[in-house]
Amino acid sequence: MIKYAIVLSLIVISPYLALADSPFPVCKDNPNGIVKDYYESGKLKTEWMCKDGHLNGITNLYYENGQLHKESNYVNDERQDITTSWYKGGELKSVCNFKDGKLNGEHKILNKDGSIKELAYYKNGVELD
């Protein structure tokens, strides 16, 4: 009987344990779906894609004027692939590559006029010379 109670308890609480492991509590209330947050003005501020209580998929952050500020892809709470950001006026601001949550590859920051402000290369989160 005790074994049955222990197994049943683990089955009941295991989804909550998975949520506790996530560094992004945004997925706590909606572990499978899109979580949205809004500015006081009512305009969309963030969209987070959650799966199994973790960030999985595209996330978008917006300026209050409605312009997209940043777009990132997450896999199990870690950024993957390209993260792109824009200035409030819509000009491209940065393009960064990630692998397993760490900068990996080209990291480019631009001025509003499109000229390169900074350019660096990373491998596993470490800047290369």
d(CA 89, CA 105): 27
The 10s digit of each residue's pLDDT in 70-114 is: 999 999 999 999 999 999 999 999 999 999 999 999 999 999 999
Kind and range of the H or E element at 69?
Answer: strand 68-75
Asked if residue 71 lies in contact with residue 64, where contact means CB atoms within 8 angstroms, the answer is: no
What tokens does 22 get?
């996530």
The CATH number linked to 81 is 3.90.930
* 60, 61, 63, 69 alpha-carbon torsion, rounded to 10°: -70
Is the model's pLDDT at 7 over the cut of 80? Answer: no
Cβ(71)–Cβ(80) below 8 Å: no
Domain housing 53: 2-127
Nearest of 24, 27, 26 to residue 101 by alpha carbon:
24
pLDDT tens figures, 23-38: 567 898 899 999 999 9
* Number of domains present in the structure of the chain: 1
pTM of the model: 0.78
pLDDT of 26: 85
For residue 84, what are the β-bridge partners? 71, 95
Confidence label for 10 from pLDDT (cuts 50, 70 and 90): very low
Task: Answer whether residue 2 shows pLDDT above 70.
Answer: no
